[in-house]
A and B are shown apart, each in its own frame.
Chain A
Amino acid sequence: MIVLDSIHKSYVTGTNSLHVLKGIDLEIGAGEFVSVMGSSGSGKSTLLNILGILDDYDSGSYVLNGKKIKGLNETKAAMLRNEMIGFVFQSFNLISFKNARENVALPLYYQKVSRRKRNVIAMEYLDRMGLKDWADHLPSELSGGQKQRVAIARALISNPKVILADEPTGALDTVTSFEVMDILKEVNDQGITVIIVTHEHDIASMTRKIIRLRDGIIAEVIVNGDLQLYRDRVLAE
């Protein structure tokens, strides 16, 4: 599904160049449930941006679903994002003047699906998130957990192959965090690849693969038995 081969990325600000990603090799198969961890400055946001086609990389190669992603123009990138990737953000990023249903329907709007049709589909997804009754509420009238569920519904509505979640529980309390993680797990069970960027160990321990970044390279990948040990350690804390 996702194949990264020695990805390099630097940010140039004025005369300074900051080498953020220093050769990332990574393979994520279809239907995986992965978390990316790392301290701030480790390059995890940058990696997420590249994975989400929000940013280009300098060298290496990134193949998403068999398609090489490099130097796309903004229109093509927008179309690919729309079709392939669902985003979930820490601060939800719902459009404040649109109600829950309209927010969920937004990706379909960009696909030029008719208003009636996209509203029907949006209602289905809201229903799946248990938010049918909140369809006409504005984001300001929803709780944090509800907002994030609306955001997940929005991410799912265009049937993406990959869900990219940037600290999806960062703004939520523990109980709600776990609820959101359960939803993401369900999503993953339907065969959609889910990639979560987080710095919370307990959140990461709920995924099936942990990728640790340090200083722009992958420091370790925790899977299988190691992951179980990791989970036990987290639970013990």
Chain B
Amino acid sequence: MFDIDRWNEIWHALTKNKVRSLLTAFGVFWGIFMLIIMSGASNGLKNGIVEGVAKFATNSAFIWTDRTSEPYKGFTRGRYWLFNSDDLVYLKANVPEMEFLTPKNFGQFGAANNVIRGRLSGSYNVKGDYPDYVKIDPYTIVYGRWINEMDIRDRRKVCVIGEKVYETLFEANEDPLGEYLKISGVYYQVVGVIRPETRVNINGRAEESVFLPFTTMQQTFNMGDQVHFLAFTAKKGVPVSVVEEKVKTILKKRHSISPTDTQALQSVNIEKQFQQISGLFLGIGILTWIVGIGTLMAGVIGVSNIMLVIVRERTKEIGVQRALGARPSTIISQIMLESVVLTTVAGYIGLSLGVGLLELVNKALEMQAKGGDEIFFRHPEVNLNIALASLAVLVIAGLFAGSIPAKRALSIKPIEALREE
């Protein structure tokens, strides 16, 4: 293998017609380059979405109410209805598979300048929440704390604000804790500032929301015992869809909704969404490999073709070598090696450039992400396994590309080669 004469011969064979070798190498280069770029891009898309929801409880579901679409038990269709506080107690007692259940209420959506602090004001979504909600959709605490049980029990007039709210209504680095905000006409004391860890938004972005204790909101917004929205998780080992069905059945029964009414209860099952997304990415991954390998194959077939031409051109030389006592194994390994060298060198350049390009894109994206932009494309990287696998594919492809020409070279009888004047 490490034999000057052999490498000399390879070098000579490949540089004899430089343009041809370069064009052939480009086929392989492009194949592997595309494979890397495509698999990097699909990883980037995947990371962008998965990182956005990675910390979200995957075994969770949400339900909310809508107008009924079927008449039932004397009620006409088109009835508006809402959950109530008793539902919470009943569900907790009757659905043992449920791990967390948290209600959520919403203030008027898109109210103008509903949050005021001194001369500053802004329009924010007001939400009533339970302490357990952060176990489903986690928040990072920037200042202070999240809503706690005492807030709920005592209906304290406190609020937790999103980071954007803090940035707008407070000076930079100002301590917000203990300050008061006037929200829809009522003063609340700020006890915390949060930053969302996921990019899942329910009724508006979390960083642009003001969170009140659920019970406080029911009281001050005159909601009585109304509940707008329920979020819940399933216990370990139970599919959340089982819990979802149970909850739906109970709620329909309690509120005299037809069991077949699909409109009155709306829901999102995060588990199912995750499965769909995983399926999508599996599909993209498979497609990437099919297209990438296809392109690579085209390149490899190009190499094989050119090697055939090279063997043809060197018929006489091969004949002389064999007359001088070169064994078939010497000839075969020579041609195979040439083919492998051509494919691996070209492929390695494609691999390096592909990875380099992905790295550049990654840097650019990171800078954009630091600027606070929403990006759905993150860390477009290929892992070491894929890089190693493609190198292995290259070597095997090179061997494959060389095998047919090598066989051809062997089938040339020395006499015929020498006779060719």
Chain A interface (Cβ within 8 Å of chain B)? 45, 49, 52, 54-55, 74-75, 78-79, 81-83, 87, 89, 91, 93, 95-98, 102, 106-107, 109-111, 115, 154, 158, 166
Residues A106 and B321 in contact, CB atoms below 8 Å apart: yes
- Count B-side interface residues using an 8 Å CB cutoff: 27
Residues B323 and A81 in contact, CB atoms below 8 Å apart: yes
Residues A93 and B325 in contact, CB atoms below 8 Å apart: no
Chain B residues with CB below 8 A from A78, complex form: 322, 325-328
Residues B415 and A106 in contact, CB atoms below 8 Å apart: no
- Alpha-carbon distance between A108 and B356 when the two chains are bound, in angstroms: 46
- Alpha-carbon distance between A115 and B5 when the two chains are bound, in angstroms: 9
Residues A107 and B5 in contact, CB atoms below 8 Å apart: no
Q: How many A-B contacts if CB must be within 8 Å?
A: 70
* Nearest-Cβ distance from residue B341 to partner chain A, whole angstroms: 16
Chain B residues with CB below 8 A from A83, complex form: 325
Determine whether B53 belongs to the interface, using a CB cutoff of 8 Å to chain A: no
Which of B9, B12, B324, B326 has the largest count of A CB atoms less than 10 A from its CB?
Answer: B324
Residues A110 and B415 in contact, CB atoms below 8 Å apart: no
Residue from the list A49, A79, A109 in contact with B5, Cβ < 8 A: A109
Residue from the list B4, B317, B324, B418 in contact with A82, Cβ < 8 A: B324
* Nearest-Cβ distance from residue A135 to partner chain B, whole angstroms: 16
Chain B residues with CB below 8 A from A45, complex form: 415, 419
- Alpha-carbon distance between A154 and B324 when the two chains are bound, in angstroms: 9
Residues A111 and B4 in contact, CB atoms below 8 Å apart: no
- Alpha-carbon distance between A82 and B330 when the two chains are bound, in angstroms: 13
Residues B324 and A81 in contact, CB atoms below 8 Å apart: yes
Determine whether B25 belongs to the interface, using a CB cutoff of 8 Å to chain A: no
Residues B329 and A107 in contact, CB atoms below 8 Å apart: no
* Nearest-Cβ distance from residue A18 to partner chain B, whole angstroms: 15
Which residue of the partner chain B has the closest CB to A52?
Answer: B323
Residues B328 and A158 in contact, CB atoms below 8 Å apart: no
- Alpha-carbon distance between A1 and B100 when the two chains are bound, in angstroms: 99
Contacts A106-B321, A154-B324 given; indicate if A74 touches B410 (C-beta within 8 A).
yes
Chain B residues with CB below 8 A from A74, complex form: 322, 327-328, 410
Residues B418 and A89 in contact, CB atoms below 8 Å apart: yes
Which residue of the partner chain B has the closest CB to A96?
Answer: B317
Which residue of the partner chain B has the closest CB to A84?
Answer: B325
Which residue of the partner chain B has the closest CB to A56?
Answer: B413
* Nearest-Cβ distance from residue B324 to partner chain A, whole angstroms: 5
Which residue of the partner chain A has the closest CB to B326?
Answer: A110
Chain B residues with CB below 8 A from A96, complex form: 317
Residue from the list B322, B325, B328 in contact with A111, Cβ < 8 A: B325
Which of B4, B5, B317 has the largest count of A CB atoms less than 10 A from its CB?
Answer: B5
Chain B residues with CB below 8 A from A55, complex form: 413, 415
